[in-house]
């Protein structure tokens, strides 16, 4: 097991950011191909606390080339300032979700070099929505210009949470029939890097794994980051941090960070991992 002070990938879970996030060392200064994934505890469709300072601290101390934050990252776009300021001092590109000032609509943003760029709202969350409202899938296709950019020589595409259902099937995965050709082309583009932040872990893990295998095939890369729900569900269950919160798949296979996710009773603030982006 290699130290998190090295250039290798790392994972951290905890509640004391200063002590658990060592700064980047001189040896690890070339981090343009490092992808960081970050998630939080959530309750009733929102984060437990304001995460803006935490996100900014991770940007400044770890300096990943790309930082993907799970859904409900920051409660309001008015609180983006610490993150915006942090990106002026690093090469980090941040993809996160916040809400309009009234808190009624979640919006994804890309933040780089002190500038924010709107990537839009989530268009659908369930298979039922896709089948009943195919126009929402078409709207996602029309939003491709704002959902896409290039990172480290790869085309990048953002699929928010349930939008990953552009894929369907389990034993034989394929693109859903409602997906327009331009969206299918973007999903299956050569070397595409697909970001799939979710609000909480999605159920039916076997099917999700099959979709990830499919979406990351033939040189593509798939990255996910999910929060964990600390409020009880209808059966009285709470979620806990686990290795399934984050993933990076390449060529149809999951990759590993350099040391296992560390989960314990003090995991009440955030979960952060790092991965080397495949060439």
Q: How far is CA 99 from the centre of its chain?
A: 16
The answer to the question of residue 6 being in a domain is no
pTM confidence score? 0.89
Of residues 228 and 19, more confidence is placed in 228
* Residue located via tokens 């960070």: 257
- 152 φ, ψ to 5°? 50, 45
Specify if 3 maps to a domain: no
Whole-number percent of the chain with pLDDT over 90: 66
Which alpha helices (DSSP H) does 63-179 contain, by range? 81-87, 127-132, 134-142, 144-147
Beta strand 11-14 with 270-276: parallel, antiparallel or unpaired? antiparallel
Domain tally, the chain: 1
Residue 183 domain flag: yes
pLDDT band at 238 (very low <50, low <70, confident <90, very high): confident
Residue 35 within a domain: yes
For the residues 15-32, what does the mean pLDDT come to?
51
Distance of CA 131 to the CA centre of its chain: 25
Q: Which structural domain range is residue 224 located in? A: 11-276
Residue 21: CATH number of its domain: 3.60.110
Contact 78, 57 (CB under 8 A): no
Return the pLDDT at 96. 98
Domain assignment present for residue 25? The answer is yes
> Is residue 259 included in any domain, yes or no?
yes
Does residue 1 lie in a domain region? Answer: no
Please check whether residue 166 lies inside any domain of the structure. yes
């Amino acid at each position: 097991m290699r130290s998190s002070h090295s250039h290798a990938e790392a994972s951290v879970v905890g509640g004391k950011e200063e002590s658990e996030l060592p700064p980047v060392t001189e040896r690890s200064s070339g981090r343009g191909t490092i992808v960081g994934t970050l998630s939080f505890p959530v309750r009733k469709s929102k984060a437990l606390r304001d995460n803006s300072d935490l996100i900014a601290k991770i940007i400044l101390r770890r300096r990943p080339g790309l930082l993907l934050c799970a859904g409900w990252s920051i409660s309001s776009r008015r609180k983006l300032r610490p993150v915006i300021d942090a990106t002026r001092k690093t090469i980090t590109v941040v993809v996160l979700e916040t809400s309009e000032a009234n808190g009624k609509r979640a919006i994804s943003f890309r933040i780089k070099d002190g500038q924010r760029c709107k990537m839009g709202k989530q268009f659908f969350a369930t298979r039922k929505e896709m089948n009943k409202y195919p126009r929402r899938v078409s709207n996602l296709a029309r939003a491709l210009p704002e959902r896409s950019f290039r990172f480290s020589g790869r085309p990048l595409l953002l699929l928010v949470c349930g939008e990953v259902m552009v894929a369907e099937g389990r034993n034989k995965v394929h693109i859903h029939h409602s997906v327009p050709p331009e969206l299918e082309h973007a999903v299956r583009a050569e070397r595409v890097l697909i970001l799939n932040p979710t609000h909480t872990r999605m159920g039916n893990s076997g099917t999700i794994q099959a979709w990830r295998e499919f979406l990351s095939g033939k040189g593509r890369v798939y990255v996910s980051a999910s929060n964990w729900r600390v409020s009880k569900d209808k059966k009285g269950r709470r979620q806990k941090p686990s290795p399934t919160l984050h993933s990076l798949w390449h060529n149809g296979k999951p990759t590993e960070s350099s040391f296992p996710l560390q989960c314990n009773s003090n995991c009440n603030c955030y979960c952060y991992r790092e991965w080397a982006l495949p060439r």
